[in-house]
Structure 1
């Protein structure tokens, strides 16, 4: 091996050895392999480079030893590549080229002889994991036995399950240690790590809008003593939940030549909204927001009014829907409108809304020939409008002080269009239509004397006269729309 000035550096005594060519390797020959070796400081990669320069063989001849030393079980040959030619060198030369110790080379040789992976790193790591195998299995077994369920508020199926909100990791850890022998007890940190690493489990929050039928049926199942009765009630509950899922499938179904919308009334907002404790018990003004939106939650429209202007009944709902229908440009090929709404009787599911939609359908001049209203099973009415309300509430939570209606309207415009009662839309006397309209295909009928004098309702004359002659209409008959019932007007 030569120095920078060309002088030979004595590393070993194999200069004239015909088998070992250590004396033929110059300084420039070892620069590249040395640079590759130290380019990556990772020990695993460096060991792989060293292993590629080692060849193992069984000793062909074993010399007699004076002492009782252990005979060599392998013979190692070392080499380097110079101009793509393999050049055999001695161990000392390899140690000098790569600046490694003999122990490191011997360890690599033993791994090669045993057929182990050189790349596998055995230094450091968790040396105590094997001691906790029984504890790990016991904790996993305990957690896997927890009875969980899917989220009540999830939009679709999820692998994550939720257990009762009465529990948390600390309580579960205490229950585990209480029922485990002394040798399997663990500390809180270990239990929490296993819970988070191996399981997709969360803790639910107390539900505030649970279906009353579901709760009542589940209570009957838990209290029933007869297995046949339990099976019967469980079947009824499954059918009930299946019907509830059909509502959401209908929303996802795309119908040709049909446009679909959803409408709902948001929770009452108070005015002014102030972070003062006394204000919670004081009388405040209420401001209402009625949302009409597409099923994809795009371009929502908020109809808003104050409590001194109007209430929250069928008149306000009908007036807002009629205004929405009048000002909406429907696709040219649309012949049908679908509305999805919850079954609140005072606001959505009543004859006044039906009358208003029927009136618009026959007087609008649009190409729309049919309106369909779909109501969900009570307690399972998670609508697209609720997602929009969630976005609004997130914005409102970041504002602790809202003093005026204008401040509310400004926040709502971040999500959709705001239409104010009195300036952008007006209330219609929808209930006055009961003096003229009679029930047709499910509409409540009330007799009146002035209905035939209104020119806008002249189209109803032949229908009412024909049905009166056939005796198909009963006076004061109630409009009853069962759950999941579709109301059509053609």
Structure 2
């Protein structure tokens, strides 16, 4: 087998003709024009597209007249990295997708970022604010003081004012005009309504006063106008209030503003009063600067759900922070206003920061702990996290792919007893090998258990568990042909020649077409299996005594809220040491270019896509080329006989 088929490229190119040829041509023309405009806006798009879909690829195109959609388009080329189906370019509120068919556009829904520890305030959903908004719009609402249902504002269909009104206001407005006036008025906000009322009232001095005893005469008189059909119509005060469905108090306030000589009415001041006991911004800034002095770090597990969440030292708490703040103020000899209470310090901590206090770490990176963390080391584990995210997203979009993480849990004592004497006695250990599986249908956890009297925990046992998992996976999802594995770099269990022989066996028997095995940076292998084990250990702490393995298996099944399978491996172990001889494979220490393979320390990515060979990378970079290793035994030539 000279050339190896890159199935990742095969599964990544599909062609689906439309139902009508005319609609096909129209969509192609519009797509070309749109692509041209986008390339002019983003010059790098054309370069990226040529890199994704080079002209030298041998692609078997299907004619457009065909009504049948082919299963795949065959692409035969040298083994290289899987070509992505699309590249996303974000521009404000739009997202562009560069694909083999062209460039498409869709809207981006930006998630609400939680930047404080407290819940995000949503004032629009508060009952009192909803009621206030409905009241402002003239709709029916429930009073927050009395709990009564207040009716919506409607027009008055009979007399607008007194029957013997000198101006005859009722005859000036029809039913349709009254509805239009009320509708336009309640489309305004509170300040706009006050301005409209203010501008609709005209004030003038009283020309002549009648002599009256002990009665205060008014100095001003007012006229009221309603704008309808682009005309100002004079009305009485009762009709003015009736048409706008307002009270006399609002009119009286506008009259007072006119008497005081104001050009505009006073703004609405509800909710804008100054708090005399408010703490100044200088004190708040001092507290914020004090909190920022403490180093914080992100979590490896929750960074995707809440990237702004950070953790302080587990030795700290809010009371301790407040105590240090008071000591700092005393050292600097600040004013009395800076010495705030612990409750206000807590308020600033929870509303201005998204911080929590961490817990003591375990299984940490030796390089990071020793302070030898280089830029290359940081880039490697960050690239691993990014590649895991890409693999998860690819599995959700394709039914032919499966993403798994695997690891061996810490050994479990059997029996588990609360008696102190049991710590001095020799106990049997129970081994639990966990596989966290992600397919297009969702997550599922598999656990394979056995005791140390049945088998050890070496490469044969891990390969046997992985083989049983693969067979179960194909029974449940026969369409899967691309397996993506993430595990730590433990040489005695996950990263060895026995695992490679297992992959060769799976490819030879056509169980999978492609198997990718990736290894994160040492000390930063935060996998989904670790979360499964964490849930199990949390439940185990609640059980005082465990006597038999079946009790452990029942606890393991119940620990996961989602689907989980726990199996006994007693009769399912195989000897993979004899598999290379049966498959006629040899262990090679050099690649096809006669370069030495530093398998244990340097290899980050293994790929098996054809029998007798495997390909590897020393980086998780998707654009780095693979190196080839031939495992098949070379036949003797005539000169060597």
Which of the five TM-score ranges fits, normalised by the shorter chain?
A: 0.5 to 0.7
Which residue of 367, 379, 384 maps to 1:242? 379
Contact 1:162–1:201, Cα closer than 8 Å, also in 2: yes
- Listed as ranges, the matches of 1:56-455 within 5 Å are 56-57=201-202, 59-60=204-205, 77=223, 87-89=235-237, 98=247, 113=262, 115=264, 118-121=267-270, 126-129=275-278, 132-156=280-304, 158-180=307-329, 181-182=334-335, 183-216=337-370, 218=371, 237-251=374-388, 252-253=390-391, 254=394, 259-273=402-416, 276=418, 278=420, 281=423, 283=425, 284-295=427-438, 298-329=443-474, 337-358=483-504, 360-361=505-506, 365-366=509-510, 368=512, 371-396=515-540, 402-414=546-558, 415-422=563-570, 425-431=571-577, 433=578, 437=580
Counterparts in 2 of 1:419 and 1:56: CA distance versus 1, 3 Å: same
Work out which of the residue numbers 460, 468, 478 in structure 1 matches 2:584. Answer: 460
Q: Report the TM-score when normalising by structure 2.
A: 0.50
> CA–CA distance in 2 between the matches of 1:172 and 1:75?
65
- Cα deviation, 1:290-315, whole Å, max 9, x if unaligned, reads 12232457232211112333332223
Structure 1 327/85 Cα, relative in aligned 2: closer, same or farther at 3 Å? Answer: same
Residues 1:192 and 1:299: Cα distance change in structure 2 (over 3 Å): closer
Residues 245 and 15 from structure 1, CA distance in 2 versus in 1: closer, same or farther, beyond 3 angstroms?
Answer: closer
Is the contact made by 2:206 and 2:219 (CA closer than 8 Å) also made in structure 1? no
Unaligned runs of 5+ in 1: 1-13, 26-31, 37-43, 65-71, 221-233, 438-450, 452-456
Name the CA shift for 1:259/1:179 in 2 (closer, same or farther; >3 Å): closer
Q: Which has the higher helix share?
A: 1
Is the contact between residue 292 and residue 302 of structure 1 (CA under 8 Å) also seen in structure 2?
yes
The alpha carbon displacement at 1:409 in A equals: 2.2
Measured on the aligned residues, the alpha-carbon RMSD in Å equals 5.1
Give secondary structure in 2 for the equivalent of 1:300. Answer: strand
Q: Give the match's secondary structure for 1:311.
A: coil
**Alignment CA distance shift 1:400-1:115 (3 Å):** farther
Note the alpha carbon deviations across 1:44-63, whole angstroms, 9 max, x for none. 97996898488454645799
**Aligned mates of 1:344, 1:73 — CA distance in 2:** 97
Aligned partner of residue 134 in structure 1, secondary structure: helix
| 1:350-381 CA distance string (max 9 Å, x none) | 334344444x347x622545544322211111
Instruction: Give the whole-Å Cα distance in 2 for the aligned partners of 1:86 and 1:400.
Output: 88
Does the residue aligned with 1:288 lie in a helix, a strand or coil?
strand
Gaps of 5+ in 2: 1-161, 172-177, 183-188, 210-217, 614-641
Counterpart secondary structure, 1:176: helix
Taking structure 1 as reference, are residues 52 and 58 closer, same or farther at Cα in structure 2, changes over 3 Å only?
closer
Q: CA deviation at 1:383?
A: 1.6
Rg larger for: 1
- Deviation per CA, 1:190-243: give whole Å up to 9, x if none: 111112112222222222122111222x2x5xxxxxxxxxxxxx7xx1211211
Q: What is the CA deviation profile of residues 265-324 of structure 1, one whole-angstrom value per residue up to 9, with x for unaligned ones?
A: 1233344556x4737846554322212232457232211112333332223212212222
Contact 1:53 1:79 in 2 (8 A): no
